[in-house]
Amino acid sequence: MKSVWLMLALGVTLTGMNDSHARDTTPAPAATPTGDDPFLWLEDIHGARALDWVKQQNATTAKQFVDNAEFARTRDRILEVLDSEARIPYVNRMGDHLYNFWRDKAHPRGIWRRTTLAEYRKAEPAWELLLDVDALNQAEGKRWVFKGVQCLKPAYERCLISLSPDGGDAVAVREFSIPHKAFVKDGFVLPVAKSEVDWIDEDTLYVGTDFGPGSMTESSYPRIVKEWKRGTPLAAAATVYEGKPSDLAVSAHHDRTPGYERDFVSIARDFYHSDLYQRLGDKLVRVEVPADAEAEAHRDWLLVRTRSPWTVDGSTYPAGALLATPFDPFMAGKRHFTMLFEPDAHTSLDSYAWTKNHLILNLMDDVKSRLEVLTPPQVATPGGDWKRAAMAGAPAMSTINVIDTDPDHSDEYWLDVTGFLAPSSLRHGVLGGAAAEKVKQAPAFFDAAKFAVSQHFVQSKDGTRVPYFEIAPKDLKLDGANRTLLYGYGGFEVSLQPQYSGGVGRAWLERGGVYVIANIRGGGEYGPQWHQAALKANRPRAYEDFAAVAEDLVKRGVTSAQHLGAEGGSNGGLLMGNMLTMYPQLFGAIACEVPLLDMKRYIHLSAGASWMAEYGNPDTADWNFIRTFSPYQNVRTDGRYPPVLFYTATSDDRVGPVQARKMAARMQAQGHPNVWFYENLEGGHGAGADNRQSAHMHAMAYDFLWDQLQ
């Protein structure tokens, strides 16, 4: 059972200098001692001196790239996509209603609303408004950003709404009554913090939050989880579990499935290791699975998803497998599993979803989707026979996601089907019934008939076969002159799959550009082993993969170094920083968004301590390998670097703005030309608190890259 904090990775922000195409092998300089860092003052996020520097940088960058008609046109065309009323209003079922959160031009901060299935099938459903965030902001004089809602089943009348003051991860939590369409007077309220809450019953919550000094982990997440009774002060809440400061986070969850009510406590040690306990009164009983496995109880069953080979009950199961066994016998000591999915060299498990009577597996075959439906035996017995059937899949080069099911009551499912050139369609069905019905279709925002999608594979430096997708004009001339944008991420087991983007289509493809997605190691495209191949000391494998794709694009004649740009955000921003410092000769320009860059100090900045399982601990001997991929330490005065745009947000409380600030300041101080910086005040790690801010961010990156790659 994966805690929300385990799922809160760095995030994916979807959106050459010489003739050599080999890596720049000049030895990196010795790391700059932290005490000698001349730009530590920029780590004072809200300090007057630092913000004055930010304002000056923003003005310079805006004058160059924003204050012109072409930027306004790009931004407005992207904003039309984000604000379009023809977009699909995605829903999730709670009881008899379908709920949706919606932003558009008239509601920039959004509205939370609901309707019925019968209404939703109509071209223009009638919606019942529950909460208008813009009206709330006007009434309270705030700038709240809606961050999600948890409602108490089965009635779904009481909800906990999370509101961020600036788009960051820290939120205020307030109890809301759906029948009254108002916040509950004297209801549950938590001040702004990185909190995690869950309903036990109408008058009781599990809550992990900032209870005062020492109550948060070194990663800035809850260290203590308590049981909080209505009408009592938070200080009086009873402690359920108290973790260590070095833990990533502690959380608790109550399963309200009728007949299977259970309580669990999860202690996340890091992103990939956690201990799960069943709470039985005052006693915690560990669910005895490997610490790096993911375990989830559902009705009679325990599912275990392995990250490393596991030998149990005389059988060895590979990394990336999905196993099932009856929950109660397992807790009593039985250890016989049925393997529901076994990975191979081309196929991995992307996700799974329960319905009342079935389990839907979402598989990836060379990064393309395929669905299977599994039916457990009627009586849950160890080693029982699960029936397996193919489910209607997606078109070629596409992604299909199970976005919602109703596991307590029915075999209903909702599918989202999309591809690089195919706008999303939303399909609704019931397993065992007719084929899924298309109930909503997203509009096309560019003429897809002019383009073609292809998948290619290239050998990386160590011989590993790395896939990448290319979206290009059908009449593409392989003359090396095409402006090409290469996007990547490569971390935290996140997969980059085919997905439609009206913004990319309008801002890049329609101009005549080529768009490429690199499925490099560090991601999850081929399961946990693909991710683990680029952990810690092996992190450079991800960078070698990305460079190999860049070189292959040149070798195939798609583009050349001066016409090849690169873009990435968050962990992908670290990727961009290393393309800048390791492979500057491969690129004509780089857009580096909400990035990690100072890997010497990253664990002391914002939520950086939570990522040591990914990168290592620079305060130990790990620095000997981390220093090789720390762009802030490796940028050199005598280096030659392509033009670069750093984009970040003051309100980003996950990675934080200071790393981009310091990198830009250092490069400018070293005298490098064409180093640009822009910092949005709101938006958190997504760098945009509303659609207009998001459009601004993407337009700036696309226009910058297009201008530089001439």
Return the CATH number at 557. 3.40.50.1820
Tell me if 146 is assigned to some domain.
Answer: no
Tell me if 136 is assigned to some domain.
Answer: no
Taking only the tens place, the pLDDT of each residue in 245-296 is: 999 999 999 999 999 999 999 999 999 999 999 999 999 999 999 999 999 9
Residue 655: pLDDT over 70: yes
Ramachandran class of 697: left when φ > 0, alpha when ψ lies in -120 to 50, beta otherwise:
alpha
Residue 30: pLDDT over 80: no
Kindly give the pairing relationship between strand 262-270 and strand 249-255.
antiparallel
Residue 211: pLDDT over 90: yes
Q: Per the structure, how many domains does the chain have?
A: 1
Return the C-alpha torsion angle 623, 626, 631, 635, nearest 10.
50
In this prediction, what percent of the chain has a pLDDT beyond 70? 95
Residue 20: pLDDT over 70: no
Kindly give the pairing relationship between strand 107-115 and strand 128-132.
antiparallel
Taking only the tens place, the pLDDT of each residue in 505-520 is: 999 999 999 999 999 9
Sequence-separated (6 or more) residues with CB below 8 Å from residue 330: 287, 288, 302
Sequence-separated (6 or more) residues with CB below 8 Å from residue 624: none
Residue 501: pLDDT over 90: yes
Q: What's the average model confidence in pLDDT over 364-379?
A: 95
Q: What is the DSSP letter of 33?
A: P
Asked which of 19-23, 419-423, 623-627 is least confident by mean pLDDT, the reply is: 19-23
Tell me if 508 is assigned to some domain.
Answer: yes
Confidence of residue 435 (pLDDT cuts 50, 70, 90): confident
Confidence of residue 394 (pLDDT cuts 50, 70, 90): low
The residues that are catalytic are 570, 685
Confidence of residue 61 (pLDDT cuts 50, 70, 90): very high
pLDDT of residue 393: 63
Q: What's the average model confidence in pLDDT over 376-402?
A: 86
Tell me if 681 is assigned to some domain.
Answer: yes
Residue 6: pLDDT over 70: no
More confident residue, 307 or 682: 307
Sequence-separated (6 or more) residues with CB below 8 Å from residue 642: 16, 17, 580, 584, 587, 588, 589, 590, 674, 708
Neighbours of 255 (CB within 10 A): 16
Residue 4: pLDDT over 70: no
Provide the sign of the torsion angle of the four alpha carbons 228, 234, 238, 243, taken in this order.
positive
Confidence of residue 2 (pLDDT cuts 50, 70, 90): very low
Q: What's the average model confidence in pLDDT over 471-480?
A: 97
pLDDT of residue 12: 44
Taking the C-alpha atoms of residue 229 and residue 206, their distance in angstroms, rounded to an integer, is 9
Tell me if 270 is assigned to some domain.
Answer: no
Backbone angles phi, psi at 177, to 5 degrees: -105, 120
Confidence of residue 577 (pLDDT cuts 50, 70, 90): very high
pLDDT of residue 31: 37
Taking only the tens place, the pLDDT of each residue in 214-251 is: 999 999 999 999 999 999 999 999 999 999 999 999 99
Q: What's the average model confidence in pLDDT over 298-304?
A: 97
Cβ–Cβ under 8 Å, residues 386 and 324: yes
Confidence of residue 659 (pLDDT cuts 50, 70, 90): very high
Q: What is the DSSP letter of 19?
A: S
Residue 35: pLDDT over 90: no
Return the C-alpha torsion angle 65, 66, 71, 75, nearest 10.
130
Tell me if 168 is assigned to some domain.
Answer: no
Q: Note down the domain range covering 641.
A: 4-79+445-708
Residue 26: pLDDT over 70: no
Confidence of residue 1 (pLDDT cuts 50, 70, 90): very low
Residue 8: pLDDT over 60: no
DSSP class per residue in 75-132: HHHHHHHHH-TTS----EEETTEEEEEEEETTEEEEEEEEE-HHHHTSSS---EEEEE
Tell me if 636 is assigned to some domain.
Answer: yes
Taking only the tens place, the pLDDT of each residue in 450-475 is: 999 999 999 999 999 999 999 999 99
Taking only the tens place, the pLDDT of each residue in 76-124 is: 999 999 999 999 999 999 999 999 999 999 999 999 999 999 999 999 9
Global pTM?
Answer: 0.93
DSSP class per residue in 662-708: HHHHHHHHTT-SSEEEEEESSSGGGT-SSHHHHHHHHHHHHHHHHHH
More confident residue, 224 or 27: 224
Confidence of residue 138 (pLDDT cuts 50, 70, 90): very high
Tell me if 320 is assigned to some domain.
Answer: no
Residue 662: pLDDT over 70: yes
* Best CA proximity match to 164, nearest among 148, 188, 182, 140: 148
